Amino acid sequence: MFKQMILAAAVAGVVLALGASAGAYPVAIQNPGLEIPVLLVDGDWAYSMDGEGWGYVDNEGNIGPWNPTTADFPGEAPEGENVGWANSGDMVIGGFGQLLTETLGAGMTYTLTVKVGNAATYPWFGYCVQLLAGGTMGDSGDEYADPITGGFLLAQDYNTLTIADGTFETSTVTYTYDPVHSAYLGERLQIRLLCLPNPAEWDDTEVEFDDVKLDAIPEPATMALLGLGGLGLLLGRKHK
């Protein structure tokens, strides 16, 4: 009996300690490093994003891939060759959006990380990284990005980082499921990477993004209970 108690305490401790990470998995994102289309020469850029996962949000399609030079970023792209650029287009908050195949689930925590850049060669006024549930991808009918509209905002990082000229910093957005959002269960998750305009000037501002990742983690308490249930069955068999 004493040995069973020691075993139970030990296993329960391990289950509780590992509950936060057990079952965690990366969520699929299309073209997360903005490497498509391929741009072979430093300084090359494009508007074309059709069929590459990303659509535009509110800025008339002023987004695309860019292979920056060392004058823009001394370290160039944080991951791969390309970054994504988005400007404020007509003084609005706008940029990239992507509807994922992953849907909002109960008992889940989602952690979104994005490298956010401030190019030394373009005006800057800030950024916003958002995680939403729902939304609609339209069809622009041309080679450029399609528009994304709608969606319910779950969590965001609204320009909390100080990013020096020519550098990137990592933005992190975390959302843990709240039952008040039950109406959105089963809705596809949406990522938005946005550029903030400078209301005092009419020149476009610009933000760069790279290395987009989203991790999904089941609620630790749920994983711990499942583990403890299995432990109970194990001890029950041993007792018999």
Reported as a pLDDT band with limits 50, 70 and 90, residue 9 is: very low
Reduced to 3 states (helix: H, G, I; strand: E, B; else coil), residue 4 is helix
Mind listing the domains of the chain with CATH numbers?
23-219 (2.60.120.260)
Q: How far is CA 176 from the centre of its chain?
A: 14
Better-scored residue on pLDDT, 227 or 24:
24
Q: Which of 203, 13, 189 is nearest to 108 (CA)?
A: 189
Identity at 231, one-letter amino acid code: L
What integer pLDDT is reported at residue 77 of this predicted model?
98
Region 172-190 average pLDDT: 98
Reduced to 3 states (helix: H, G, I; strand: E, B; else coil), residue 134 is coil
pLDDT tens per residue across span 90-129: 778 999 999 999 999 999 999 999 999 999 999 999 999 9
Distance between first and last Cα of the chain: 12
- Cα separation, 36 vs 42, whole angstroms: 15
Look up the pTM and report it: 0.84
Region 32-60 average pLDDT: 89
Q: What DSSP string runs through 7-29?
A: HHHHHHHHHHHHTTTTT-EEPP-
What integer pLDDT is reported at residue 22 of this predicted model?
64
